Structure 1
Amino acid sequence: MAIYTGEIYGKQTASKFVMYNVIKVSKQVVTLQNIDNPLSLFETTEQKLNASGYIRVSQTPFIDLESTTPKRRKAAKKPTRCPLTLDFLEDRADSERPAPIMQDLFS
């Protein structure tokens, strides 16, 4: 299974369903960022990601339009399309948080 930058993966924890943006993909390492806590980053491999129970929630990136990070920080990669663009296949705009479709299976 190939993993690409911009995809969203999720994992059910004991209390909630947590979603992660794929920030960077190299030959061996995949870097993930927590959607709810942008300062939370971690690196893993594709094999460990699959073995740990992470599932792909969406192939459309999530862009936080209400970011409160200081402007001095390194600028985030600019989106290739307008964050308000409605993706009819995903049934949401890029700026809208994806619905955790697999959450019901773990409840």
Structure 2
Amino acid sequence: MDILTGEIYGKQTGSKFVMYNVLKVGKNSITLQNIDNPLSLFETTPAKLHASGYVRISQTPYINTKTTGKKRKSIRNPTRCPYTLDFLEERADSERPAPLMPDLFT
């Protein structure tokens, strides 16, 4: 399975579900950024990503439009308006993806 820049991967850790943006894809490495903590970055390989239990949540990137008080330029420039509704994923780029929770009761 190909991993592309802008996709969102998630993993269930304990009691919470953590989501990561794919920032950069190299030949043998992937750089991920935590959606909740943009300063949290880590690098891994595609094999380790899937072996660790990460699942693809969305192919549409998440763009945080909330102001943080710091006046910095955006690291990445979106290719479309963050408020554009993606009817296939039923969310806009500025809306956080719904976590895929496993159905424990079936």
Compute the TM-score of the two structures, normalised by the length of structure 2. Answer: 0.92
Structure 1 residue ranges without an equivalent (≥5): none
Identity %: 70
1:98 aligns with 2:97: yes
Give 2:102's aligned amino acid: D
- Distance change (3 Å), C-alpha of 1:69 and 1:44: farther
Query: How many residues are matched?
Result: 105
SS of 1:98's equivalent? coil
Compute the TM-score of the two structures, normalised by the length of structure 1. Answer: 0.91
Q: Residue 77 of structure 1: CA displacement?
A: 1.1
- Distance change (3 Å), C-alpha of 1:50 and 1:69: farther
Match of 2:6 in 1: 6
- Distance change (3 Å), C-alpha of 1:14 and 1:106: farther
Q: Which runs of 4+ in 1 moved over 4 A?
A: none
Structure 2 residue ranges without an equivalent (≥5): none
- Distance change (3 Å), C-alpha of 1:69 and 1:61: farther
Q: Residue 67 of structure 1: CA displacement?
A: 4.1
Distance 1:16 1:106 in 2: 15
Match of 2:76 in 1: 77
Give 1:104's aligned amino acid: P
Q: Contact 1:12–1:106 at 8 Å: present in 2 too?
A: no
Where in structure 2 are the equivalents of 1:13-32 lying within 5 Å?
13-32=13-32
